[in-house]
Amino acid sequence: MLTDVLIALLTPALSGLAFSFVLEQVHTPRPRLPWQRDPADLLLHSGLWLVLYLLELVQFGRPWLAMGLTCSIFYVLLLVNRAKFDALQEPFLYQDFEYFVAALKHPRLYLPFFGFFKIIGCLSTVGLALWLGITLESALARSFAHEQIWQAGLVILLLAAAMLYAAQGHHPLLSFKPNADFKQRGLLALFWHYAWAERHKPVLADLSTHSTLGRVSLASAEQNLYDTVVVQSESFFDPRRAFGLIKPGILSEFDRACRASVCFGPLAVTAWGANTVRTEFSFLTGIDPSLLGIDQFNPYRRVVSAWLPSLAREFKKKGYRTVCLHPYPASFYQRDKIFSLLGFDEFIDLKSFTQPEQQQGPGPYVSDQVLTEKILDMFAQPRQQPLFLFAITMENHGPLHLEHLAKSEEQQWLNEPLPKNCQELSIYLRHLANADQMISKLLQRFSAAPSSARPIQLLWYGDHVPVLAKVYAQLGLPDGHTEYFLWRSDECRRLAAVRSSVDTVTRQTPAPQPLGVHQLAAELLR
């Protein structure tokens, strides 16, 4: 009887569905309880659950095994969601599924944040469910005819489709604030809503009208064309603002640069711990990411085109050679394709760094010291064109907990002993001190250029705060702002002349100027 087959299929399916709501509540972050959610979101969760259950059922032909595997897959998603939230203060999104492929290509960047034991646990859970199901449960085909099984499966599929269709008729107003949307809707419903949002065109029909680049123009006089270096420093921020146990001298060169700069201060960025492309896109285009709707989470997926406003393109219009320098594979985030659309003439990636160079300095990535030498070598080469160089550093990229620091070095930048489980902070500070030395070396060389040479400007900023989950749990969360400064060689000489004729005691220290990252490019063009 068809009814018997339906009971045999629906009993484990509905049991697993109910259990999925329990699983959601035993992991953080937690969504609302099921009866507190919108009915449409419950339909989405249930419909997607049944579809996944049917896929496992078709593959193995055992209902309880299908239920166990579906629960295991959902459990893995919840663990991934927890890992991302702990590291980045944000739940797992539909747009993040592409990182599963990226994790296979760049495992060191992703898998350590999930944790070795969690990986083993997930594989063991799925393996155990598979073994128990095959061992203890007979195939459904031994008890029912194939036609009855397919008919019952079709009924469940139609039920799932009806749930999804009914829910889709309800179009909620999404905030695109992932934490709030997750809490209100749950993980599976959040996947659906964010995937559906990508089916529509980008929210801004004309991005050029929303770019700060359209409000300024680059001076056309030859003598006003600065050679320009922009350094997007990995995980650079001033931790002294957040943690009182750090010695002030950790960023002494940064402090000196700020005092000699045209402007400096805290920088509002939308990325936390990772997702550098959010900051990077906003800087290069002058567009506030909050205006992008669903595309704010990874603008490189859909938004970039040859007619998009671009800082590199603005420089190129005035005769500059535009180059990006990044000691990592250019294919990461598809920068090898994206940056040419943004107006860059050349992308110099990891292939241009030899193996011995990569091993200089601490950590597994190309050091800031090596990158500094590369930048200075490029400016030492004879050329006719002014140069716009966008350098993206890698040294301070996590996961920091895989690195080691000698006990004798742990306190080098600290006023007091670290609390338990905060050793990552020392490792971060070691890299931060190297970034500070990068600032020093660049400014020393640029300041020493003859006054007859083309003036040069250096913009330095951090893309996001670092991933230091255990440190933040002990010492508190920073505000998420990074730092920036804009230094110009001719202005530095003018300030030096002023200091030589004015009492330095009475001279006012420049005030910090808070900016959003989408406003930085306009400052370069002024």
Q: Are residues 394 and 323 in the same domain?
A: yes
Q: Are residues 262 and 122 in the same domain?
A: no
Q: Are residues 171 and 279 in the same domain?
A: no
Instruction: Tell which phi-psi region holds residue 61, choosing left (phi > 0), alpha (psi between -120 and 50) or beta.
Output: left
Q: How confident is the model at residue 36 (pLDDT cuts 50, 70, 90)?
A: very high
| Whole-number Å distance between alpha carbons of 56 and 45 | 17
For the cut 50, the answer to whether the pLDDT of residue 78 exceeds it is yes
Give SS3 for 346.
strand
**463 belongs to a structural domain:** yes
CB atoms within 10 A of CB 312: 24
At residue 132, the pLDDT reads 75
Q: Are residues 114 and 260 in the same domain?
A: no
For the cut 70, the answer to whether the pLDDT of residue 377 exceeds it is yes
| Of 496 and 54, the one with more pLDDT | 54
Give SS3 for 451.
coil
For the cut 90, the answer to whether the pLDDT of residue 85 exceeds it is yes
| Whole-number Å distance between alpha carbons of 74 and 56 | 13
| Whole-number Å distance between alpha carbons of 326 and 324 | 6
Q: Give me the mean pLDDT over the 345-356 stretch.
A: 86
Q: How confident is the model at residue 116 (pLDDT cuts 50, 70, 90)?
A: low
| Of 41 and 404, the one with more pLDDT | 41
- 10 Å CB burial of residue 118 (0-12, 13-18, 19+) is middle
For the cut 70, the answer to whether the pLDDT of residue 509 exceeds it is no
**219 belongs to a structural domain:** no
| Whole-number Å distance between alpha carbons of 271 and 465 | 8
For the cut 90, the answer to whether the pLDDT of residue 134 exceeds it is no
| Whole-number Å distance between alpha carbons of 29 and 292 | 25
Of 526, 473, 453, 477, nearest to 212 by C-alpha is 526
Q: Please tell me the pTM assigned to this model.
A: 0.91
**255 belongs to a structural domain:** yes
At residue 521, the pLDDT reads 92
**386 belongs to a structural domain:** yes
Q: Give me the mean pLDDT over the 327-332 stretch.
A: 93
Please check whether residue 44 is in contact with residue 167, taking contact to mean a CB–CB distance below 8 angstroms. yes
Query: Percentage of the chain surpassing pLDDT 70?
Result: 91
Q: Are residues 381 and 275 in the same domain?
A: yes
Q: Give me the mean pLDDT over the 338-346 stretch.
A: 95
| Of 382 and 54, the one with more pLDDT | 54
172-176, 256-260, 357-361, 505-509: which has the highest mean pLDDT?
A: 256-260
Amino acid at 119: I
At residue 387, the pLDDT reads 96
At residue 257, the pLDDT reads 96
Q: Give me the mean pLDDT over the 329-354 stretch.
A: 93
Structure tokens at 504: 């330095």
For the cut 60, the answer to whether the pLDDT of residue 500 exceeds it is no
Residue partners of 32: CB distance under 8 A and separation at least 6: 183, 184, 186
Strand-pair partners of 231: 391, 460
Which domain-ending residue is among 179, 197, 215?
197
- What would the DSSP string read from start to end of 6-62? HHHHHHHHHHHHHHHHHHHHTSSS----GGGS-HHHHHHHHHHHHHHHHHHHHHH--
- Total number of domains in the chain: 2
Q: Are residues 126 and 247 in the same domain?
A: no
Q: How confident is the model at residue 495 (pLDDT cuts 50, 70, 90)?
A: low
| Whole-number Å distance between alpha carbons of 379 and 392 | 16
Structure tokens at 410: 């742990």
| Of 361 and 417, the one with more pLDDT | 417
Q: Could you report the per-residue pLDDT of 268-325, keeping only the tens digit for each?
A: 998 999 999 999 999 999 999 888 889 999 999 888 887 888 999 999 999 999 999 9
Q: Are residues 250 and 184 in the same domain?
A: no
Residue partners of 406: CB distance under 8 A and separation at least 6: none
For the cut 70, the answer to whether the pLDDT of residue 507 exceeds it is no
**394 belongs to a structural domain:** yes
Q: How confident is the model at residue 30 (pLDDT cuts 50, 70, 90)?
A: very high
- What would the DSSP string read from start to end of 59-85? HH--HHHHHHHHHHHHHHHHHHHHHHH
Q: Are residues 349 and 310 in the same domain?
A: yes
Amino acid at 406: A
Instruction: Tell which phi-psi region holds residue 272, choosing left (phi > 0), alpha (psi between -120 and 50) or beta.
Output: beta
Amino acid at 363: G
**160 belongs to a structural domain:** yes
Structure tokens at 111: 């898998």
Q: Are residues 185 and 279 in the same domain?
A: no
Give SS3 for 486.
strand
**212 belongs to a structural domain:** no
| Of 409 and 497, the one with more pLDDT | 409
At residue 508, the pLDDT reads 62
Q: Are residues 463 and 328 in the same domain?
A: yes
CATH code: domain of residue 509: 3.40.720.10
Q: Give me the mean pLDDT over the 203-215 stretch.
A: 70
Q: Are residues 391 and 246 in the same domain?
A: yes
Q: How confident is the model at residue 48 (pLDDT cuts 50, 70, 90)?
A: very high
**112 belongs to a structural domain:** yes
Q: Where are the beta strands (DSSP E) in 187-262?
A: 227-233
- 10 Å CB burial of residue 362 (0-12, 13-18, 19+) is middle
- Mean pLDDT, the chain, as a whole number? 88
For the cut 90, the answer to whether the pLDDT of residue 217 exceeds it is no
Which domain-ending residue is among 197, 216, 239?
197
Which range among 5-9, 43-47, 99-103 shows the weakest confidence by mean pLDDT? 99-103
At residue 401, the pLDDT reads 84
What crossing angle do the helices spanning 39-60 and 2-25 adopt, rounded to 10°?
120
Structure tokens at 119: 């990986």
Residue partners of 419: CB distance under 8 A and separation at least 6: 474, 475
Residue partners of 112: CB distance under 8 A and separation at least 6: 398, 399, 401, 402
Which domain-ending residue is among 182, 197, 212?
197
At residue 221, the pLDDT reads 46
CA dihedral 380, 386, 390, 396 (to 10 degrees): 30
Which range among 119-123, 319-323, 401-405 shows the weakest confidence by mean pLDDT? 119-123
For residue 448, the enclosing domain spans 225-525
DSSP state of 305: -
Q: Could you report the per-residue pLDDT of 436-487, keeping only the tens digit for each?
A: 999 999 999 999 877 667 899 999 999 999 999 999 999 999 999 999 999 9
At residue 14, the pLDDT reads 95
Q: Are residues 181 and 87 in the same domain?
A: yes
| Whole-number Å distance between alpha carbons of 315 and 322 | 7
